[in-house]
Amino acid sequence: MPYEFLKGHGTENDFVLLPDLDGTVHGELSPDEMAERVRALSDRRAGIGGDGVLRVVRGSRADADWFMDYRNSDGSLSEMCGNGIRLFVRYLVDAGLADGSAPIPVDTRDGIKTLTLDGDLITVDMGTPKVLGETTVGGEGITWAARHVDMGNPHAVAFVSTLDEPGSLLQPPVHDPGVYPEGVNVEFVVRRGERHIAMRVHERGSGETRSCGTGACAAMVATAVADGDRPAGQDVAYRVDVSGGTLTVTWTADDRVLLTGPAVVVASGTTDL
């Protein structure tokens, strides 16, 4: 039976969005059936194409009306998606399901995130980062030292001399399964100037993507820690350039990370994939 979909992106990190407000459209699928549907929708040649799928459902908590059911393009579950949740809220506001003049709470597998709108830009409070130990990642015969940062999902941030250094990123970078038993998002970062970095990212379950919101946050936090630029009584904001655009990441004086960037819906329709 055909069902509704939308397509959109945040700095070209693109998603298929599935409105399922009362849970009757996709909610009866088994986990394996839902994973198969996500893979079909995400396929860039035989489907609609995307880095993942956002399912919009009513929340079950009193303090959040909506839940973001997010899956990577391979069908696997993910705890959080910083670009995806901005697109999720853009849809809610455009569809008249949320009031964009006030903060909007959205439940996720990493807890409730609060988003605010300012024109074309949407800011999400990503919560308190966990700056963990050193690890290593590798690829194409090279090994890099990396910082383990948890933004609700796992990240390894490695500093490189140029963004070409990691190579094609067609395969997941090698990582320590003892540190990351469920896989890891890997960010390769270069410094562009004062509080200005650029990055490439290989996302767990999706491959290299043109942007990663949680990854931009992890990259900013790892850079600030490495440079001794952690908040000390005032907010610290970095520009983060990704392949699909620019994000702003702010580490606040009260130890929260705020991610700001655009999110746009570019298409809608019906499908029976």
State the catalytic residues: 81, 212
Where do we find the tokens 């990704």?
242
User: Torsion over CA of 27, 30, 36 and 41, rounded to 10 degrees?
Assistant: 0
Q: Is residue 11 left, alpha or beta, with left meaning phi > 0 and alpha meaning psi from -120 to 50?
A: left
CA distance 122 to 259: 8
CA distance 62 to 152: 22
Residue 244: CA atoms inside 13 Å, Cβ hemisphere, count?
A: 21
Instruction: Please give the full DSSP string across 212-258, using - where no structure is assigned.
Output: -HHHHHHHHHHHHHHTT---SSS-EEEEEEETTEEEEEEE-TTS-EE
DSSP state of 172: P
- Closest by CA to 234, choosing from 219, 217, 255, 249, is 255
Cβ pair 219, 196 in contact under 8 A: no
